[in-house]
């Protein structure tokens, strides 16, 4: 790890000003991703701007229309909050399955949204080919070990899998991200917050270098209140998803589905909304065979590599199982 300077921000506004004035500066929240990348030699900020001591940005507030979570709230605080568990259970489950208890106690929601891929080629600078780390150098995963890499949203420049859990649930339920920069606040829909790699895989989000996440807001809905997050992985403890699904249902009095939500994790370069599956479920009875048939539409357009073709079928089975498990809770 290279030497760096450290400062505590006095406010979000002062942190934005520091980031604007010093292009080598990086924001420190829980540090659970940033410090790892500094140790790996992937990033080397000249200045760390610590936000963790700022008051008033860790609130968790819910009303009839939405949940609003401050960027400095910890994963643990949000996961166990009574309103989140009751009205947005898929969010709670995603957070609880996203890291160990120790990491959840440290990691902040803003930082969780900004976590970087766990692609081994990205995180090991001894591999020269990584367009995400070194633009124009190539993508070693295309013809290397790619069992854990993405099959959706990929390009010839990058096939790195998005690693997060919470953003998958946020994508299913139309969250928005509140951001502050030198020109003031703005709001970014979660589906626009994560960018496809295309020809610029080093651009993972539309934030400017001097902008900060201040909060996340999630609308309330019957489908969010009756929701589930299923994570399939090689081992149960402390492992990233081979495939995951955040699902939600609203079921009418006649037993037919009036709203359905599906987003995939672990198989794409960003959280992946499955609107074709959602559309296929509307108006149908909430029955296992209906879920299985609709799930066959998931992962359409997948581009498997040499070692990760299993993820296509796994994604479909994960969606079907998530719905079956959810419907069984009625």
Number of domains in the chain: 1
Give the per-residue pLDDT at 1: 79
pLDDT digits (tens, 9 = 90+) for 253-284: 999 999 999 999 999 999 999 999 999 999 99
Q: Give the pLDDT mean for 40-66.
A: 95
Confidence of residue 76 (pLDDT cuts 50, 70, 90): very high
* From 32-41, 81-90, 177-186, 247-256, the region with the lowest mean pLDDT: 32-41
Confidence of residue 239 (pLDDT cuts 50, 70, 90): confident
Residue 132 within any structural domain of the chain: no
Q: Give the pLDDT mean for 121-140.
A: 97
Residue 281 within any structural domain of the chain: yes
Residue 187 within any structural domain of the chain: no
Give the per-residue pLDDT at 98: 93
Q: What is the CATH number of the domain that holds 251?
A: 3.30.390.50
Q: Give the pLDDT mean for 290-296.
A: 98
Residue 248 within any structural domain of the chain: yes
Residue 44 within any structural domain of the chain: no
CA dist list (Å): 21 to 15, 52, 110, 186 = 10, 21, 22, 20
Confidence of residue 285 (pLDDT cuts 50, 70, 90): very high
Give the per-residue pLDDT at 236: 81
Give the per-residue pLDDT at 330: 85
pLDDT digits (tens, 9 = 90+) for 164-186: 999 999 999 999 999 999 999 99
Q: What is the pTM of this model?
A: 0.97
Q: Please name the residues in contact with 66: beta carbons below 8 A apart, sequence gap of 6 or more.
A: 217, 218, 219, 220
Q: Give the pLDDT mean for 36-40.
A: 93
Confidence of residue 325 (pLDDT cuts 50, 70, 90): very high
Residue 87 within any structural domain of the chain: no
What domain range includes position 234? 222-327
Residue 255 within any structural domain of the chain: yes
Q: Give the pLDDT mean for 155-170.
A: 98
Q: Give the pLDDT mean for 296-309.
A: 98
Residue 265 within any structural domain of the chain: yes
């Amino acid at each position: 790890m290279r030497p760096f300077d450290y400062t505590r921000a006095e406010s979000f506004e002062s942190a934005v000003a520091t980031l604007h004035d010093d292009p080598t500066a990086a924001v420190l929240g829980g540090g659970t991703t940033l410090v790892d990348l500094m140790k790996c030699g992937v990033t080397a900020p000249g200045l760390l701007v610590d936000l963790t001591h700022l008051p008033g940005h860790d609130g968790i507030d819910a009303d009839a229309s939405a949940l609003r979570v401050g960027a400095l709230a910890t994963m643990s605080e949000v996961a166990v909050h009574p309103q989140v568990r009751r009205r947005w259970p898929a969010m709670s489950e995603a957070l609880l399955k996203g890291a160990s208890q120790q990491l959840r106690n440290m990691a902040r929601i803003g930082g969780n949204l900004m976590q970087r891929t766990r692609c081994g080629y990205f995180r090991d600078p001894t591999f020269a080919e990584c367009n995400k780390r070194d633009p124009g150098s190539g993508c070693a995963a295309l013809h290397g070990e790619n069992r854990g890499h993405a099959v959706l949203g990929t390009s010839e420049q990058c096939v790195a899998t998005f690693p997060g859990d919470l953003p998958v649930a946020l994508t299913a339920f139309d969250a928005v991200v509140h951001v502050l920069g030198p020109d003031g606040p703005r709001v970014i829909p979660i589906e626009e917050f994560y960018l496809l790699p295309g020809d610029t895989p080093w651009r993972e989000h539309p934030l400017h270098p001097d902008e900060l996440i201040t909060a996340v807001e999630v609308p309330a809905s019957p489908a969010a209140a009756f929701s589930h997050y299923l994570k399939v992985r090689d081992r149960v403890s402390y492992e990233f998803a081979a495939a995951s699904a955040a699902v939600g249902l609203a079921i009418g009095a006649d037993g037919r589905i009036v709203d359905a939500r599906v987003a995939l994790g672990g198989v794409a370069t960003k959280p992946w909304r499955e609107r074709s599956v959602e559309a296929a479920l509307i108006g149908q009875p909430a029955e296992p065979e209906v879920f299985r048939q609709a799930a066959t539409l998931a992962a359409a357009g997948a581009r498997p590599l040499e070692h990760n073709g299993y993820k296509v079928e796994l994604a479909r089975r994960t969606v079907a199982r998530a719905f079956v498990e959810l419907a069984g809770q009625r």
